[in-house]
Structure 1
Amino acid sequence: MIYDAECWLAKRKHINKINIAEMRMLRWMCGYTRKNRMGNEYIRKKVGVALIEDKLRESRLRWFGHLNHRSIEAPIRKIELLNFAHVQRRRGRPKRTRQETIRSDLGYLDLDKNLVADKAQ
């Protein structure tokens, strides 16, 4: 369900929809319906599944580590260095960038960006 999630910049509404679909599947696996009034935490403990949001964060940070281990000359690393300040953006709130998402994920786990050593150099 979250295949290739390391590339996503999912919004809160997308995460909620994935969470709802996952809970439906977990309830179906356990043989419960909403009429049984079993809490999500109880079902997650019974099945032994972590929160979808944590799994998304884990996959994004794993991908971030893989990217940082690549050499500076790698095409994927050159994209990080591009500056789009001269590009005229649309009206409204600016879209959330990958760097902002990674920064918030690292902040949530109290990790430092410099923790990932650049081993490729």
Structure 2
Amino acid sequence: MDECILFADDVVLVDESRAGVNRKLEQWRCTLESKGFRLSRTKTEYMMCDFSTSRHEGGDVSLDAQVVAHKDTFRYLGSMLQKDGDIDEDVKHRISADWLKWGQASGVLCDRRTAIRPAMLYGAECWPTKRRHVQQLSVVEMRMLRWFCGHTKRDRVRDEAIRERALVRSGVLKHVDKVKKGRGRPKLTWEKSVKRDLKDYDSSEELALDRSLETSYQRA
């Protein structure tokens, strides 16, 4: 089928119109039932990402004459998608998952990089992060790093000293974005957020893409 995303048993159908979504959903239902499968009516949800300022559609999405539940956020493969394209809910979800993994692992693990960091950064490679998102993640990371180093806020140890002791460094990758620009103020993209971070840390793309330098940091 055109314009659909398949991953294990999770399926996403995408179209530019509500009628197109209804048509694809009905086609998918008929295809499954012809092979002896059944499409769940209760687990199927839809979300409309209305990025157009002039085009608005009404009506419902239906599955075999049953109205499909409409959601403002949509969970797919561990990530929270929002109808406005932002990542606020995904950041909150990742932080919650991080604390859950921290609680499970803090009693037996000594190296926080083993399980905690992947839990919080899962699916974050393409986040168009804003400063408030970075701040939220940094607060969580510093609380864990202080615990890891045996310090609390009352000890008044600077964040830089904690990071240096824990050997925490950051890295960035390059992303090519060819999305067409629309009217109004452009949304913050992943590439722009990377360039902003490079500027904040007085770094460059060439330095960030230097694999030999990254390897030397990892071995240090």
TM-score between the two structures when normalised by the length of structure 1: 0.55
Could you tell me the percent identity over the aligned residues?
Answer: 37
**Residues 94, 38 of structure 1: CA spacing in aligned structure 2 closer, same or farther, 3 A cutoff?**
same
**Residues 7, 29 of structure 1: CA spacing in aligned structure 2 closer, same or farther, 3 A cutoff?**
same
Counterpart for residue 145 of structure 2: 26
Paired letter, 1:109: S
Distance 2:151 2:198 in 1: 36
Counterpart for residue 95 of structure 1: 187
Runs of 4+ deviating beyond 6 Å = none
Over the aligned positions, Cα root-mean-square deviation in angstroms equals 2.8
> Does residue 46 of structure 1 match 2:140?
no
More RCO (CA 8 Å, sep 6+): 1
> Does residue 109 of structure 1 match 2:203?
yes
SS of match in other structure, 1:100: helix
Measure how far apart 1:81 and its partner are. 4.4
Q: How does 1:49-64 map to 2 (within 5 A)?
A: 49-50=168-169, 54-55=170-171, 58=172, 61-62=173-174, 64=175
Distance 1:21 1:8 in 2: 18
Counterpart for residue 70 of structure 1: none
Out of 78, 83, 90, the residue aligned to residue 180 of structure 2 is: 83
Distance 2:189 2:155 in 1: 41
Number of matched pairs: 86
Paired letter, 2:147: W
Bigger strand share: 2
Measure how far apart 1:8 and its partner are. 0.4
Measure how far apart 1:29 and its partner are. 1.0
Counterpart for residue 77 of structure 1: none
Counterpart for residue 214 of structure 2: none
The answer for unaligned runs of 5 or more in structure 1 is 68-79, 116-121
The answer for unaligned runs of 5 or more in structure 2 is 1-119, 210-220
Measure how far apart 1:96 and its partner are. 1.7
Structure whose alpha-carbon radius of gyration is higher: 2
